[in-house]
């Protein structure tokens, strides 16, 4: 189950033939998170766009976005009047959204302060951060969005201490940073967080198998299609589990190595896998490698990185590089004939093809596609002629020919 979803950067809706002023304005739009400010900048951007056939669709897209934004602003105002307090939902920005979760005082705010533009308060008191707080981490020519989640506690998965909202942040994110305090029972820290995630069916280790259940209205039997095997149960166990859920007639496709938990997840359809890394903080307070090794064993197969949010030098680049690999980011640069490649990448996930890229840019690009020219890591030679199916790699340069 690779990372098949392509994350579209908002930049990609803007065609290349705009004036530098218009492009600069759009850049301002993409960098602004404040909805009111964003709306104003979008209006200014539209006034800089020449009105003709080639810009029609983009103008319509921007207008739709503006209408959505107005609605959002209205709704937020209404919600504030009703006194419902701030929303837990954080809109996505940048190449990927990563939620930073952990028990209180592990150093989530300190991490955001160290590596993002966020100025969130570092509190030496418990439960300092009550609402999720986002910040952008710049890395090379992209940005990651980190969201500090309010503290997790034992029982969050049962709703304790706003637990449902906290865990839904992790469910909605593209990836998870589990943060633990190396100076305060890191293995216990980790296990508490891992258990709350597991109870919420947020999987932090990629499942080795897949189960597909097709229920049938008639018949009285469970049939299997085998493309793999059950690893911790028998077919009888599966049949009786299904019966517990009143499923008497169904077709099950078993792919890869499948556990009884996987079958139950398939019945409910609510389990999600989120790529996860463990950040072990306050290494400056720890003087024994054994502590780190014990954590690595507990968190295996997840990667554990030991840092000090307050002391580690060049922390942003270190974390950025790890997140880049964790999420499987691919940056592709487009190029028009006779011109240098665009300095701004289109950001996607591993598995992106030339066809996928064309669709991200514009449905017209895809429909009128004849072939593309390719430079970079995945080109067999410079200026290689390629079709829609060619898989792209980070750093590739693509020129479309319609
Ligand atoms: N020694 C040390 N203390 C840290 C480090 N990072 C955070 N702290 C301290 O840990 C406490 C909690 O930090 P904070 O970032 O507010 O944790 P949060 O509750 O997870 O957001 C504060 O007193 C910080 O100064 C670190 O790398 N080393
Ligand atoms: Mg905090």
pLDDT: which is higher, 33 or 398? 398
State mean pLDDT over 210-235: 91
pLDDT: which is higher, 319 or 118? 319
| Residue 107 CB–ligand 1 contact under 6 Å | yes
CA gap 338, 278 in Å, rounded? 46
pTM of the predicted structure, to 2 decimals: 0.77
| Residue 143 CB–ligand 1 contact under 6 Å | no
Indicate which atom in ligand 1 lies nearest the CA of residue 309.
27
Q: Let me know: does 334 contact 361? Beta carbons within 8 Å.
A: yes
pLDDT of residue 284: 97
Q: Give the chain's domains with CATH numbers.
A: 1-85 (no CATH), 96-204+274-327 (3.40.50.300), 209-268 (no CATH), 329-402 (3.10.20.30)
Residue 341 pLDDT greater than 90, yes or no: yes
pLDDT: which is higher, 192 or 220? 192
Q: For residue 7, how many C-alpha atoms fall within 13 Å in the half-sphere facing its CB?
A: 23
pLDDT tens-place string over residues 224-269: 999 999 999 999 999 999 988 888 899 999 999 999 989 988 888 7
Dist. CA 325 → ligand 2 center (Å): 26
Residue 181 pLDDT greater than 90, yes or no: yes
Angle at 36 between CA 35 and CA 39, to 5 degrees: 85
Residue 85 pLDDT greater than 80, yes or no: no
* Residue nearest ligand 1's atom 19 by CA: 105
| Residue 312 CB–ligand 1 contact under 6 Å | no
Q: Let me know: does 161 contact 262? Beta carbons within 8 Å.
A: no
* Residue nearest ligand 1's atom 13 by CA: 107
Which ligand is closest in space to the CA of residue 100? 1
Which ligand is closest in space to the CA of residue 108? 1
| Residue 280 CB–ligand 1 contact under 6 Å | no
| Residue 285 CB–ligand 1 contact under 6 Å | yes
Q: Let me know: does 32 contact 69? Beta carbons within 8 Å.
A: no
CA gap 329, 217 in Å, rounded? 43
Q: Dihedral of CA 100/101/104/107: which sign?
A: negative
């Amino acid at each position: 189950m690779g990372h098949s979803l392509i994350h579209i950067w908002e930049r990609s809706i803007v065609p290349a033939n705009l004036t530098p002023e218009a492009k600069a304005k759009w850049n301002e739009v993409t960098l602004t998170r404040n909805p009111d400010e964003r709306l104003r900048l979008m209006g200014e951007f539209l006034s800089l766009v020449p009105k003709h056939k080639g810009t029609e669709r983009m103008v319509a897209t921007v207008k739709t976005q503006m209408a959505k934004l107005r609605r959002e602003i209205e709704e937020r105002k209404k919600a504030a009047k009703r006194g419902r307090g701030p929303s837990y939902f954080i809109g996505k920005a940048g190449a990927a959204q990563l939620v930073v979760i952990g028990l209180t005082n592990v150093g989530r705010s300190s991490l955001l302060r160290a590596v993002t533009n966020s100025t969130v308060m570092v509190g030496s008191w418990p439960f300092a951060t009550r609402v999720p707080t986002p910040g952008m981490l710049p890395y090379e020519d992209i940005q990651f969005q980190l969201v500090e989640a309010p503290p997790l506690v034992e029982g969050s998965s049962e709703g304790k201490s706003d637990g449902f909202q906290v865990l839904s942040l992790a469910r909605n994110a593209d990836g998870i940073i589990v943060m633990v305090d190396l100076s305060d029972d890191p293995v216990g820290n980790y296990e508490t967080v891992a258990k709350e995630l597991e109870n919420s069916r947020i999987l932090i280790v990629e499942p080795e198998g897949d189960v597909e259940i097709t229920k049938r209205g008639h018949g009285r039997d469970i049939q299997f299609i085998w493309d793999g095997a059950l690893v911790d149960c028998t077919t009888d166990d599966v049949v009786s589990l299904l019966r517990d859920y009143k499923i008497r007639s169904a077709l099950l496709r078993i792919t890869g190595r499948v556990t009884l938990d996987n079958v139950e997840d398939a019945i409910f359809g609510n389990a999600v896998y989120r790529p996860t890394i463990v950040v072990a903080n306050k290494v400056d307070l720890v003087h024994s490698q054994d502590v780190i090794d014990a954590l690595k064993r507990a968190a295996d197969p997840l990667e554990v990185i030991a840092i000090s949010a307050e002391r580690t030098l060049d922390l942003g680049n270190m974390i950025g590089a790890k997140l880049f690999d964790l999420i499987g980011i691919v940056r592709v640069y487009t190029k028009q004939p006779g011109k240098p490649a665009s300095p701004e990448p289109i950001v996607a996930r591993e598995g992106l093809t030339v066809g996928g890229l064309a669709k991200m840019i514009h449905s017209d690009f895809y429909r009128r596609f004849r072939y593309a020219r390719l430079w970079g890591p995945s080109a067999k030679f410079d200026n290689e002629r390629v079709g829609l199916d060619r898989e792209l790699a980070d750093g590739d340069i693509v020129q479309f020919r319609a």
